[in-house]
């Protein structure tokens, strides 16, 4: 499929079969996925999956997310920025629109004496309606 090839080319990445397979699987999922999931779905060697994930993150194609599950998750970066809320019971993940981070940044700098804030993690944990019932 031309679309997936273009995604790689647009990001100045070599077009290889493993990368096309990974882009395809990543596009098929609307929720963040783990390296483990990609290894199983793509049947690629785990080293290839881990290395490709890093490459994609470096090129800004993917976002790396830590939802306290002992492993990192990945989602395509072409979606609008947002945060996540994770059910601590069943693990379901829902989106939360981009946060009020801008207004917090100055407070962070003031409190800490840091020079710059370049990134932040803001994730929420709770119970989804099913698990709360």
The contact set with DNA (CB under 7 A) reads 13-19, 34-36, 44-48, 50-52, 54-55, 70-72
95 binds, among DNA, a copy of itself, none (CB under 5 to 8 A by kind): a copy of itself
Q: Give residues in contact with a copy of itself (CB under 8 A).
A: 66, 68, 85, 87-88, 94-97, 99-100, 103-104, 107-108, 111-129, 131-133
DSSP assignment of 14-46 equals: ---HHHHHHHHHHHT-SS-EEHHHHHHHH---H
Closest to DNA by CB, 19 vs 84, is 19
- Write out the two tokens for 115: 């020079």
CA atoms of 62 and 7, how far apart (whole Å): 12
15 binds, among DNA, a copy of itself, none (CB under 5 to 8 A by kind): DNA
CA atoms of 95 and 84, how far apart (whole Å): 5
């Amino acid at each position: 499929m031309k679309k997936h090839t273009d995604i790689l080319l647009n990001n100045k990445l070599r077009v290889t079969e493993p990368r096309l397979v990974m882009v395809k699987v990543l596009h098929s999922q609307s929720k963040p996925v783990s390296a483990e999931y990609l290894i199983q779905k793509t049947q690629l060697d785990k080293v290839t999956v881990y290395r490709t994930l890093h490459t994609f993150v470096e090129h800004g194609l993917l976002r790396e997310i830590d939802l306290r599950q002992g492993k990192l998750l990945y989602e395509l970066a072409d979606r609008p920025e947002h945060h996540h809320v994770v059910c601590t019971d069943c693990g379901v993940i829902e989106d939360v629109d981009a946060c009020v981070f801008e207004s917090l940044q100055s407070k962070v700098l003031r409190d800490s004496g840091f020079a710059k804030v370049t990134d932040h993690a803001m994730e929420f944990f709770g119970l989804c309606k099913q698990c709360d019932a």
